[in-house]
Structure 1
Amino acid sequence: MIFVITAMTVLFIAAVVLMLLRRQLQEKYAVLWIVVGVAMLVLEVSPPLLGWLASVAGVQVPSNLLFFLGITLLLGVSLHLSWELSRAEDEIRRVAEEVTLLRAEMERITPDVAPTDADDV
């Protein structure tokens, strides 16, 4: 069973690297997922390490610590993506307003030029 989990983790890291090389994933996100993948590999190769971390954290069952860390990571990623989405929406709104103002200015300067279909996009 450990071989299957380790193979899946290696495939996960390879997929992240491939997405990074194809420019489908930004570096700032790739680093996070590679760190998560490497941490998964370390915990898979050395199961006593999770037990030691659980005892240090005061958690009686090591799998509970693993679930807690996973949920914390997912909440952090969700919060970060929400923040990025908010910034992107603000930027899109700002650019749309600038385009509208520029289009109005262009129509004011050259009122005799009819807009083409490409301008409606």
Structure 2
Amino acid sequence: MSLGPMYHWSPRSRLSGIKRLGLVPGKRNIEGPVYHDPGDPGMGEFVQPGVCLSPDPATAWAYSHGAWRTPGTFDLWQLWLADEDEVHVLPQWGHRIVEVRVHNRIKKSRLVWIAEREGTRS
């Protein structure tokens, strides 16, 4: 099975880094640290070990902005998975792939900027 184009929404504040390095896993949440257990910061900060992608822009938006509701401008990136990517398709119910994570850097040369969108807290 092969996957078609994949999509990722990133906050505009990450644009200069993406233009320099591409999409890099392990970045801190833009609103500050998120802990494994908010009641016990000693358990350490959680950072996603992969770049989260979806097979369509609407699903990517739902799983990024829909989860965090971070306000601001977001950029939509399109890419095709490559043979050298460490791809993890998340388990889920049903026939539809919702999220794919890539556990390596995705070089800027593989990214196509598609659109921008404003996110709000509501």
- Relative contact order, higher structure (CA 8 A, sep 6+): 2
Q: Report which of the two has the higher share of helix.
A: 1
The normalised TM-score by structure 1 is 0.20
